[in-house]
A and B are shown apart, each in its own frame.
Chain A
Amino acid sequence: MRVPIRWLGEYVALDGRDATEVAARLNVTGTELDRLVHHGVETPEKIVVGRVLTCEPHPDADRLRVTTVDIGAEEPSQIVCGAPNVAAGQTVGVATVGAVMPGGMKIKKAKLRGQASVGMICSARELGIGEEHDGILALETVLPGAADVAPGTPLTDVLAHADDVLDLEITPNRPDCLGLYGIAREVAAATGASLRPAPWTAAGAAEQGSTAEEGEDAAAVDPRGEAIDGFSLEVTTTRCPRFTLRLFQDVVVGPSPLWIQARLSAAGQRPINNVVDITNYVMLVTGQPLHAFDADRVAGGSLTIREAVDGEQLETLDGTTRTLKAGELVIDDADGPTSLAAVMGGARSEVHEGTTRVLLEVASWDGPTIHRTAHRLDLFSEAASRNAKGLAPEQVDWAQALASRLLRETVGATRVGGTLSAGTWNSAVVQPPLAVRESRVERLLGTAVSRPRQTELLDALGFGVTDAEPDAPAGTGTLQVVVPAERRADVTREVDLIEEIARLGVVADLEPTLPTRRRAAAARLTPAQRARRRVEDVLVGRGLQEVVGWSFTDAGAAGRLELPEGDPRAAAVVLDNPLSEDQAVLRPSMLVSLLDIARHNRTRGVDDLRIFETGTVFRDAPDPVRADMPYEHLAVAALVQDDVFAAKGLLEALLGALRIDDWALHATDEVQFLHPGRAARITVGAGDDAPTIGLLGEVHPRVADRWDLPRVATFLIDLDRLLPLVPDARTFRPVGAFPDARFDLAVLVADDVTAAKVVAVARKAGGALLEDVRVFDSYRGKGVPEGQVSLALHVRLRAADRTLTDEEIGGAREQIVAALAEQVGGVLRG
């Protein structure tokens, strides 16, 4: 919302407060300043009134003229001017040397085709007060008495043409601040400045040196009644609580007075013509949109506001044919649809140059209905976005009153008949006042605010406050508060009024306190949260860099991972409104983002990549906890530029650090994106049905190649499954005071016997004395028959209560050797 400060000053006594000061107060009371801009000439003091003394053709340029202009100096100034309409005798605005024009152009002494020029005669657009730029602005055409103004007078003395403009961010709950008078009320409440009467009242008109005639005081009912001869109105929907029409004749469509154009320009509205400009002007003051029909183009003089039929079509003012949906609102005349109600007028009944009678519509609408329509059609005009807020029906009267006065005063229009009204709104229904308990204010804000102070704050915002029991002791009383119409949608409860009290009177100097934690349990991370941090820290400790990838990927990612269409991992969650095709679905596997990041780094010359990520992955399948939502889980994945044993080493370190002992790998060639000979499922727990918590393997060379990567290995773990398995505490067993006994065995076994199986057999055979057994070497080649492998085992025995004897050690060794021979066909080597 652009608020020109001088225009604002018409409604609130700023008493010398400048734009910065006003903005600073608004900023800390709930109306944020987006930016402070200057509209128009940057140096208004350098623009003076001039009188053109002579005007001759330029000797060397057909389109230029050489003028002499009296700007109040001893000597007239010679100014070269390109405007076709410049003429001797005109009174003009002159930008003198040193002036800085809108957009930053600086006026300097110059020579134009050999003729000296010291200044510039300005057009309306150059002054920032209108659109006109075909010629210079001859002041006598827009300013009565301009010919009598002494040359050299600052132009600002006779014409408001440059202003500071507050560009305010209005929060969605405050449509009242989408009108200048609403801002004025905020400024008054925030600064203590006095608010002037509203311009749509008799007092407001008087304040501006005018007189409100019949129907021009919104505080009174239109004395001319509710009928207009030859016009009829019907509202057949509940989504239009109030619709009003007034008729004006003797309208001559032309440019608006310059002051209206100047104000509209400063507020960011392009001046169009006097009728349309008034509808915009009144909207900017009241916040209430208006629409002007050419009364003679409203077929049959009848308007009907109704809900659209699904699929019906309408041509809007911008020449586009729109297809409507059921429940959207249209305005019909006798010939059919003429407007997309509250959003955009129709071309057929638009005000045009020859319009002489204007039918002025001011209506209030069901906000959500208008919001949906405007949103669907992407038609958020100034009017539509205000109507989408669901404005108060009372605001209709404000707009009709002010517009009527301006049409009379500046267009010379005459009003005919009364105010035609329809809609479900009943002005007789009065909202009951809201109660504000003094105790509640203190309980919520943490500081006491006396009832007189509360009354003062609410009163400044236009609330009607009554203290039913003024003698009630402090902390026990209750205020009864009547909410003004323009705040009715926002303030419906006690807490809403407490917010008003808080923002104006409390937050600026509230003393901070700390709440008490009353739950008798220390705040700390949950076991799963601690385990997750452990996961991250272990991988960082192993030299991996954590990355944070995109949750999004493209629909082809599953295909690039070679996942067949029916694979559950290929079922990606699809976005309905993605930003781009590259981000159209949610990642079904962390591997996608890791490969993307790996490629990004490889192409930038980073070698020996070691990265991991923890994050969420998604699948288009019912979530086990929330059946109506997609399956999502927390995952950790690592990717190293190395072979599968590098990744396995990391996995061992990770699970070891988490104190998970009973995990196992099961070789698999069924994971399409992993090397079929170098991949495994990871399970935790005993038995064949132990749950799979992840995958380990080298990325399939074909997949890696698609990402321009060499051999990379990965593990992918479902943390939602793993973290609950992490033991939170563990009981320690004594290391033992007695020495261990160690020996190594080399066993020949068939190729297809896994190391894990050999270790398992040895462990079982070693019995109670066996402390540890592991494979430390695996050898194929010279000395080992084809089809066999030599596994070197390191065995450690220990007893808790004694030093083992040679017999015990030898016995265990024999048991292990025998078991290996019997169960896996192991033959002792050497």
Chain B
Amino acid sequence: MQERIAELRAAGEAAVAAATTTDELEELRVAHLGRKAELPNLLRDVSKLEPAERGIVGKAANQARQALQAAIDARVAELKASELDAQLIADRVDITLPGKAEPVGGLHLLTRVRRDIEDIFLGLGFDIVEGPETETVHYNFDALNHAENHPARDRADTFYLAPSPHLDGDVQRLLRTHTSPMQVRHMERAEPPVAIVVPGRVYRPDSDATHTPQFHQVEGLWIDTDTTLADLKGVLLSFARAIFGPDREIRLRPHFFPFTEPSVEIDVSCHLCGGTGTLKDRSRCPLCKGTGWIEILGSGMVDPNVLAAVGRPEFDPEKVQGFAFGMGIERIAMLRYGLSDLRPLYENDVRLLEQYA
């Protein structure tokens, strides 16, 4: 009996070693270890043997069966590995062929710059509010301390809306010429201290390479009991460095705006020539025109008349004070991305937009 077991085991092992495919091995498994195979049947019949032989034969048969199973498993693993190798070779592709096309979208440059500006001012402690694009003369000019004969009110500088039979009230309506109306609108409903920036679309009847009849601004307003011109400088210096680089300096240049007093324009040291006015090749810097400075925005301390126009004791100009500023998003975009003409931004040729996306 034991000889027979040894024979079966040897024959099985030889056949397994000779097998060349996993299918063949499956056939061998059925032939040698399946229900009808001899070896398992030997094991099944062990109980019929003499008690003395049972242990010996059973053990041998079991060992033979396990050995054969192990041999098959090992051979299967071996063959699978080489079959996979062969498959991988057959699957080889030209990896330089194009990938599956995925459409690539992008934000418009103006949105990207607006978000950058918003994020910088969020970091400096400003909230973000937005306001209407159609406005009244009151919020756009009167409450902002524009004299009755201030040229910005002229029809050459402001889009007025035609009278409408559908609207109540005898007010003169316009498209806001700046985001500044939100200064007073916000103070009418908020409590001091106030720290806001107001991004949004504004309108003026201008049309050339650097002026479009619609453009975008970001207004800033900070009102508290002790906000100073030095604070304005600190905030705008931080902003300028965030946008134009850590080495930038700013300069306050006195100016006039009806709604701030004192008023200053802010120049940032030129990021192209490093503020020297001269490029490496010793030519005059084309961006700052050799001056080393670039005007980026207008600002100042909020005029007491603007605070008074709010008409609330909380904004009594003897008690609270602060600064305001307004910048053009297009202007920042032009300076940062080297645009010389604004009009393509509104033509929206996607091939151009994608370059900035």
Contact with A along B208-225 (1 / 0, CB 8 A): 000001100000001010
Q: What chain A residues lie within 8 Å of B121 (beta carbons)?
A: 523
User: Is residue A493 contacting chain B, with contact meaning CB distance below 8 A?
Assistant: yes
A623 to B164, CA, bound (A): 13
A227-235, A524-532, A802-810 - interface stretch: A524-532
Interface contacts beyond A512-B233, A621-B166: sample of 17 additional A-B pairs, CB < 8 Å, sorted by A: A28-B253, A29-B254, A171-B256, A368-B147, A445-B262, A507-B229, A507-B254, A514-B238, A515-B195, A515-B224, A525-B122, A547-B108, A548-B110, A548-B348, A551-B201, A611-B350, A628-B169
* B262–A620 CB distance below 8 A: no
Q: What chain A residues lie within 8 Å of B222 (beta carbons)?
A: 515
Binding site for A on B (CB under 8 A): 102-108, 110-111, 115, 118, 121-128, 132-136, 147-151, 154-155, 159-164, 166-169, 171, 173, 175, 193, 195, 201, 203, 205, 207, 213-214, 222, 224, 226-231, 233-235, 237-238, 251-256, 258, 261-265, 301, 303-304, 321, 345-351, 353-354, 357
Tell which of A445, A508, A604, A622 touches B230, judged by Cβ atoms closer than 8 Å: A445
Q: What chain A residues lie within 8 Å of B349 (beta carbons)?
A: 600-601, 604, 606
With both chains docked as a complex, state the minimum distance between the C-beta of B142 and any C-beta of chain A, in angstroms.
13
A residues 489-529 near B (Cβ < 8 Å) are 493, 495-496, 498-499, 502-503, 506-508, 510-519, 523-526, 529
* A576–B161 CB distance below 8 A: yes
A141-149, A392-400, A536-544, A760-768 - interface stretch: A536-544
* B173–A629 CB distance below 8 A: yes
Interface contact tally, CB-CB below 8 A: 260
User: Is residue A429 contacting chain B, with contact meaning CB distance below 8 A?
Assistant: no
* B162–A523 CB distance below 8 A: no
User: Is residue A367 contacting chain B, with contact meaning CB distance below 8 A?
Assistant: yes
* B262–A524 CB distance below 8 A: no
Known contacts A545-B350, A550-B346; is A444 also within 8 Å of B149 by CB?
Answer: no
* B166–A545 CB distance below 8 A: no
Q: What chain B residues lie within 8 Å of A626 (beta carbons)?
A: 132
* A579–B205 CB distance below 8 A: yes
* A519–B214 CB distance below 8 A: no
* A628–B168 CB distance below 8 A: yes
A513 to B118, CA, bound (A): 21
Most buried by B among A368, A389, A515, A632: A515
Contact with B along A602-622 (1 / 0, CB 8 A): 001010111100011010111
* A172–B229 CB distance below 8 A: no
* B254–A502 CB distance below 8 A: yes
Q: What chain A residues lie within 8 Å of B205 (beta carbons)?
A: 577, 579
Tell which of B195, B303, B357 touches A495, judged by Cβ atoms closer than 8 Å: B303
A76-84, A200-208, A567-575 - interface stretch: A567-575
Considering the complex, give the chain B residue whose CB is closest to the CB of A610.
B103
User: Is residue A451 contacting chain B, with contact meaning CB distance below 8 A?
Assistant: no
* B230–A550 CB distance below 8 A: no
Known contacts A512-B234, A523-B127, A525-B122; is A173 also within 8 Å of B256 by CB?
Answer: yes
Q: What chain A residues lie within 8 Å of B107 (beta carbons)?
A: 536, 540, 546
Tell which of A388, A511, A610, A616 touches B201, judged by Cβ atoms closer than 8 Å: A616
Q: What chain A residues lie within 8 Å of B128 (beta carbons)?
A: 525-526, 529
Tell which of B104, B161, B254, B301 touches A573, judged by Cβ atoms closer than 8 Å: B161
| Total number of A residues with any Cβ neighbor in B under 8 Å | 95
User: Is residue A533 contacting chain B, with contact meaning CB distance below 8 A?
Assistant: yes
A-B contact pairs, 21 of them (CB 8 A): A371-B149, A375-B154, A444-B228, A444-B229, A503-B254, A508-B252, A510-B229, A512-B234, A512-B237, A514-B231, A514-B234, A514-B235, A523-B195, A525-B122, A545-B354, A601-B349, A601-B350, A606-B350, A627-B169, A628-B136, A629-B135
With both chains docked as a complex, state the minimum distance between the C-beta of B108 and any C-beta of chain A, in angstroms.
4
Q: What chain A residues lie within 8 Å of B213 (beta carbons)?
A: 552, 579, 583
* A515–B255 CB distance below 8 A: no
A29 to B254, CA, bound (A): 5
A residues 573-590 near B (Cβ < 8 Å) are 573-579, 583, 586
Q: What chain B residues lie within 8 Å of A493 (beta carbons)?
A: 304
Tell which of A444, A447, A512, A543 touches B301, judged by Cβ atoms closer than 8 Å: A444
User: Is residue A27 contacting chain B, with contact meaning CB distance below 8 A?
Assistant: yes
User: Is residue A475 contacting chain B, with contact meaning CB distance below 8 A?
Assistant: no
A569 to B126, CA, bound (A): 37
A residues 347-396 near B (Cβ < 8 Å) are 367-368, 371-372, 375, 388-390
